[in-house]
Amino acid sequence: MRLSQTGDVWWKSAVFYCADVETFQDSDGDGIGDLRGMTERLEYLADLGVTCLWLMPFYPTAGRDDGYDITDFFGVDPRLGTLGDFVELVRTARSRGIRVIVDFVMNHTSDRHPWFRSARRSVDDPYRRHYVWSPTKPRTSKAEVVFPDQEDSIWELDDKTGEYYLHHFYKTQPDLNVANPAVQEEIARTLGFWLELGVSGFRIDAVPFLFAEDTYPGSEPGGFDPQRYLKDVRDFVTRRLGDAALLGEVNLPYPQQKEFFGGADGDGLNMQFDFNGMQRLYLSLARGDAGPLTSALRERPPLDVTSQWANFVRNHDELTLDKLSIAERKEVFAAFGPDPGMQLYGRGLRRRLPTMLGGDQRRIRLVYSLMFSLPGTPTLFYGEEIGLGENLDVEGRLAVRTPMQWDAGANGGFSTAPRRRLTRPQPAGLWGPEHVNAADQRQDPGSLWSFVRTLIRRYRQMPQIGWSDVEVLDHDVPAVLAHVCRCEDWRLLAIHNLGADDALVTLDLGTVPEGTVLRDVLDGRDDQPLDPSGRVEVRVDGYRGQWLRVLTPGELAYA
């Protein structure tokens, strides 16, 4: 049986959508989104064509990192609902053909988690070794600190016991000692719990830290093998649920990412975000030059058949540009976030795509057309489908996590609470709900929402895109990216013009059978006959994308 036809590896051709329960839909008028509100909106996601919903953390939390500082791995933040609401959400989603994956944050706990409260009581506490302690303060290099605006070290003195604990993120997020078998057991228990409640997998937070043995000068490495442990986790999860997916947050260079996919048969993570491709996409956009993205696509390591890239344009964090050189980063800052208030940690922008592109619909659509045409699994961050903007008045990374804008009414239909009680203020003016909302766009066939829905539909009609290898074609127009997705004999030629000027590109597709045509599957233009030499000239308007199926006479018979 062909894997691509069984759905066993469903993540290879899924459409992912990341949402935060707190900012999606409030059902009880307290100004805070909740699980019941999210459940009411599943119809919307199904209509859009989403097939997998990724929920950001909704667990009990100390509230110091928007839910990424958990105080109980087995519960639901009472502001957002109950476990009963969660089960109803998962069940309703399934009935609409949507899987649910949840954020799994076990590199660290909150410092208010009962384990850490106990651990800091004494050096002999039974939970002491759940965390990483050093009797002296190890030196920290600046590069190790993830949030340099708040922290200057990854070690914090615990007054009572006089030792330092490790925290890669905020000091309120002590790192768990994953080399400790007792912690590994807790990790398994937690994964098993959520699988039992119906989730289809996990988005694993901070993978390079989670699967690492944390040592410090003078500590004794314990013979912990992170790759082996990742494989153990994968084995555990697939024993519990055969087709569970592990989508990892691994912002590392490609060769290191490759290791996290596991060995030749892909026994590590199933999916990873393509952080490198994403960053070079922005450099390409800033320059109007396809070169940086081309080099990323050519460097992407080939994957085994079950592994997959998650393609994304924006997420809930800052748009990180940490893999670009300082000069390149400056170019992107100058183009898309020149004001220091838009920048964060010296490495990223706390903005969403449409505002960075000055609201230019042509460029916004170009970017999504490109993302959906790349081999991999497209992953949207809520609101991208309507062109939601950020609110820079909101602090730090939270600027891009404002409440969803459902309609033009009060609070954009997010909540019936008085505006001042909203969990976060929505943007005002041109980016406010009167101008940017889902209800209006769902009525309008020419809207961004309708365009994104069409992209999703085409992607789902052609699951081969997710299974493809990519080949970037050489030609002489620097602004244009021309790539071919190839899955056995199936081929899609995608051409995207990152520049403002119309372009004529001459491409060589290699010889094709007599009678082969190029069929436009986005705009529905007439078929273009292809010379058997495979050489073809294609005209692309500025800031436009085209998706062209290469159809041989044999395929035309049933296309």
Catalytically active residues, by annotation: 205, 249
Largest Cα–Cα distance of the chain, in whole Å? 80
Smallest gap from residue 187 Cβ to ligand GLC (A): 15
Question: What type of residue is 313?
Answer: V
509 binds ligand GLC (CB under 6 A): no
The encoded tokens of residue 233 equal 């986790």
Q: Name the residue nearer to ligand GLC (CB basis): 176 or 482.
A: 176
The encoded tokens of residue 452 equal 């994104």
178 binds ligand GLC (CB under 6 A): no
482: Cβ–Cβ under 8 A, 6 or more apart, which residues? 472, 473, 475, 493, 494, 495, 496, 505, 507, 538
Smallest gap from residue 203 Cβ to ligand GLC (A): 9
In which element (H, E) is residue 535 found?
A: strand 535-540
Sites for ligand GLC among residues 223-252 (CB under 6 A): 249
DSSP conformational letter for 397: G
Whether the CB-CB separation of 269 and 261 falls below 8 Å is answered with yes
Smallest gap from residue 316 Cβ to ligand GLC (A): 6
Q: Name the residue nearer to ligand GLC (CB basis): 26 or 249.
A: 249
Q: Name the residue nearer to ligand GLC (CB basis): 41 or 168.
A: 168
In which element (H, E) is residue 84 found?
A: helix 83-95
Smallest gap from residue 168 Cβ to ligand GLC (A): 8
Q: What is the CA radius of gyration of the chain?
A: 24
Count of residues that interact with ligand GLC, criterion CB under 6 A: 9
Smallest gap from residue 328 Cβ to ligand GLC (A): 22
Smallest gap from residue 126 Cβ to ligand GLC (A): 25
Closest to 465 in 3D by CA, of 47, 46, 54, 15: 15
68 binds ligand GLC (CB under 6 A): yes
CA distance 14 to 247: 12
Choosing from 77, 151, 175, 205, the residue that interacts with ligand GLC (CB under 6 A) is 205
Choosing from 259, 289, 317, 471, the residue that interacts with ligand GLC (CB under 6 A) is 317
Choosing from 52, 105, 154, 364, the residue that interacts with ligand GLC (CB under 6 A) is 105
Sites for ligand GLC among residues 432-471 (CB under 6 A): none
Q: Name the residue nearer to ligand GLC (CB basis): 158 or 317.
A: 317
- Helices vs. strands in the chain: H and E counts, helices first: 19, 22
Q: 64: burial class by Cβ within 10 Å (0-12, 13-18, 19+)?
A: middle
Q: Name the residue nearer to ligand GLC (CB basis): 34 or 205.
A: 205
Smallest gap from residue 507 Cβ to ligand GLC (A): 39
Q: Name the residue nearer to ligand GLC (CB basis): 317 or 331.
A: 317
CA distance 187 to 184: 5
Q: 148: burial class by Cβ within 10 Å (0-12, 13-18, 19+)?
A: middle
Smallest gap from residue 313 Cβ to ligand GLC (A): 15
Smallest gap from residue 553 Cβ to ligand GLC (A): 49
Closest to 522 in 3D by CA, of 309, 366, 357, 290: 366
CA distance 426 to 26: 14
Question: What type of residue is 482?
Answer: A
DSSP conformational letter for 450: H
The encoded tokens of residue 22 equal 């707190």
Phi, psi of 495 (to 5 degrees): -130, 125
CA distance 61 to 64: 8
494: Cβ–Cβ under 8 A, 6 or more apart, which residues? 369, 370, 373, 374, 481, 482, 483, 484, 485, 545, 546, 547, 548
* Residue whose beta carbon is closest to ligand GLC: 68
CA end-to-end span of the chain, whole Å?
Answer: 23
Q: Name the residue nearer to ligand GLC (CB basis): 65 or 77.
A: 65
Q: Name the residue nearer to ligand GLC (CB basis): 205 or 384.
A: 205
The encoded tokens of residue 271 equal 């999916």
20 binds ligand GLC (CB under 6 A): no
CA distance 65 to 63: 6
Smallest gap from residue 123 Cβ to ligand GLC (A): 27
65 binds ligand GLC (CB under 6 A): yes
Total length of the chain: 559
If DSSP codes are grouped into helix, strand and coil, which group holds residue 383?
A: coil
Choosing from 86, 115, 133, 169, the residue that interacts with ligand GLC (CB under 6 A) is 169
In which element (H, E) is residue 88 found?
A: helix 83-95
Smallest gap from residue 233 Cβ to ligand GLC (A): 18
Q: Name the residue nearer to ligand GLC (CB basis): 42 or 380.
A: 380
206 binds ligand GLC (CB under 6 A): yes
- Strand pairing report for 377-381 and 16-19: parallel
297 binds ligand GLC (CB under 6 A): no
Interacting residues toward ligand GLC by CB under 6 A: 65, 68, 105, 169, 205-206, 249, 316-317
